[in-house]
Chain A
């Protein structure tokens, strides 16, 4: 038990050691600074308020895109999983959107809607909706028909069925879509900010890329990775554990 808890810590420590060795071999802070060379820069950005401002801007975009992609993807996946006819109609669309490069959608949204917040969030949402829909569709196909029959016999209302019969069966699929969704969405948000926003972690990375400032690129990247790991550990994992409580009781 103790060994299994220690393994991730050792794994991260070895990654850090590898970084230190690589930084020592390159011996050029402009190409690859050591971890401790980032600390003063991190403190400086934090004290100036820039770090929090840009983290906040990215986090708001991630939250919007995540909420929209999960809501639309869940509804779409549920409908496609439950209705063969609808699935036959929408499946080719899904395949096209799944294979459309993220960059193409982002550029088209900026070209058609303009360099606006709405375009940025739309582009990220459209990139993620097909993935969520595919996962939820599998969940909807795996719904237990006997429980459906039971709900029908006992004349459960639509809302009661969704809340007590359908959603608990979909919960593992929603959790899987949410966890992979958060990981993918924040990466796409950074690209969207890189290409067409004047705030956010992606914008800062763009700025420091033009100045060839690797250290600042790493400061902003690691700061946001920290935020997303916190979201994963404090929100997503506890929510997933709660939804699986009945399995382990």
Chain B
């Protein structure tokens, strides 16, 4: 069980997040929605352990993966090494299988800059699922993709989540995406003491 009990989070004295508390069961998928700039990405960064400066407590598993808004790949390393470097325990043949699973087999030796944006996002997804994460965090993973590619990526993500069953929290502005992937939707709303969960 992943438990989040944040009392507050502020930047330079300006409150960004107020009291926020929720749980995610193993295998459960939660969507986080709310207006732009309200603090959704800040909440994800706290959950992912990127931002440790907050008041409160977060319990998360060690095996955690994240899909960022941008693919966030290592442009100077090959496609295969973009899987092997973050997961040194992964065998090269297992990495190749993962690349094939997300539909970019045969591109192991290319650099990320030689892939299309859709392929880069597939690689980012492969990196997230390569070591069977217990928790998956996604920050608007399908943003800036054309509708057809976004639909393909959504289907692929759905399939990978159902294969690996991680506890998942993802940010989206698209309620259709939230309905498709999530069993629960959390909404952030603004208050003077920072964003809190709404009804």
Q: Is the CB of B48 within 8 A of A153?
A: yes
Q: Is the CB of A154 within 8 A of B87?
A: yes
Bitwise, A209-249 to B at CB < 8 A (1) or not (0) is 00000000000000000000000000000000000001101
Given known contacts A152-B50, A153-B48, A153-B66, A147 and B76 CB-to-CB distance under 8 angstroms: no
Given known contacts A152-B49, A154-B86, A160-B88, A146 and B72 CB-to-CB distance under 8 angstroms: yes
Chain A residues, CB < 8 A from B72: 146-147, 149-150
Q: Any chain B CB within 8 A of the CB of A168?
A: yes
Q: Any chain A CB within 8 A of the CB of B143?
A: no
Q: Is the CB of B48 within 8 A of A168?
A: no
Q: Any chain A CB within 8 A of the CB of B35?
A: no
Given known contacts A154-B87, A160-B85, A246-B113, A149 and B45 CB-to-CB distance under 8 angstroms: yes
Chain B residues, CB < 8 A from A160: 85, 88
Q: Is the CB of A246 within 8 A of B76?
A: yes
Q: Which residue of A lies closest to B87 (CB)?
A: A154
Q: Is the CB of A149 within 8 A of B68?
A: yes
Q: Any chain B CB within 8 A of the CB of A38?
A: no
In the bound complex, how far is the Cα of B62 from the Cα of A147, in angstroms?
19
In the bound complex, how far is the Cα of B60 from the Cα of A155, in angstroms?
14
In the bound complex, how far is the Cα of B33 from the Cα of A77, in angstroms?
41
Chain B proximity of A144: nearest CB distance (Å): 8
Q: Is the CB of A153 within 8 A of B65?
A: yes
Chain B residues, CB < 8 A from A10: none
Q: Which residue of B lies closest to A145 (CB)?
A: B50
Q: Is the CB of A156 within 8 A of B86?
A: yes
Chain A residues, CB < 8 A from B75: 246
Q: Any chain A CB within 8 A of the CB of B74?
A: yes
Q: Any chain B CB within 8 A of the CB of A207?
A: no
Q: Any chain B CB within 8 A of the CB of A165?
A: yes
Q: Is the CB of A165 within 8 A of B74?
A: yes
Bitwise, B65-81 to A at CB < 8 A (1) or not (0) is 11010101011110001
CB-CB contacts below 8 Å: B75-97 with A? 75-77, 81, 85-88
In the bound complex, how far is the Cα of B50 from the Cα of A155, in angstroms?
10
Given known contacts A153-B66, A247-B113, A147 and B87 CB-to-CB distance under 8 angstroms: no
Q: Any chain A CB within 8 A of the CB of B114?
A: yes
Q: Any chain B CB within 8 A of the CB of A187?
A: no
Q: Is the CB of B113 within 8 A of A146?
A: no
Chain A residues, CB < 8 A from B66: 150, 153
Chain A residues, CB < 8 A from B86: 150-151, 154, 156
Q: Any chain A CB within 8 A of the CB of B64?
A: yes
Chain A residues, CB < 8 A from B111: 246, 249
Chain B residues, CB < 8 A from A147: 72, 74
Chain A residues, CB < 8 A from B68: 146, 149-150
Chain B residues, CB < 8 A from A146: 68, 70, 72
In the bound complex, how far is the Cα of B74 from the Cα of A150, in angstroms?
10
Chain B residues, CB < 8 A from A154: 65, 86-87, 127
Chain A residues, CB < 8 A from B88: 160
Given known contacts A153-B64, A246-B113, A249-B113, A164 and B77 CB-to-CB distance under 8 angstroms: yes
Chain A proximity of B191: nearest CB distance (Å): 27
Given known contacts A146-B68, A164-B85, A249-B111, A153 and B74 CB-to-CB distance under 8 angstroms: no
In the bound complex, how far is the Cα of B111 from the Cα of A150, in angstroms?
18
Residue among B50, B65, B68 with the highest chain A CB neighbour number at 10 A: B50
Chain B proximity of A174: nearest CB distance (Å): 13
Can you report 14 A-B residue pairs in the complex whose CB atoms are below 8 A from each other?
A: A149-B45, A152-B49, A152-B50, A153-B66, A154-B65, A156-B85, A160-B85, A165-B74, A168-B77, A246-B75, A246-B77, A246-B111, A247-B113, A249-B110
Residues of B within 8 A of A (CB): 45, 48-50, 62, 64-66, 68, 70, 72, 74-77, 81, 85-88, 110-111, 113-114, 127, 137
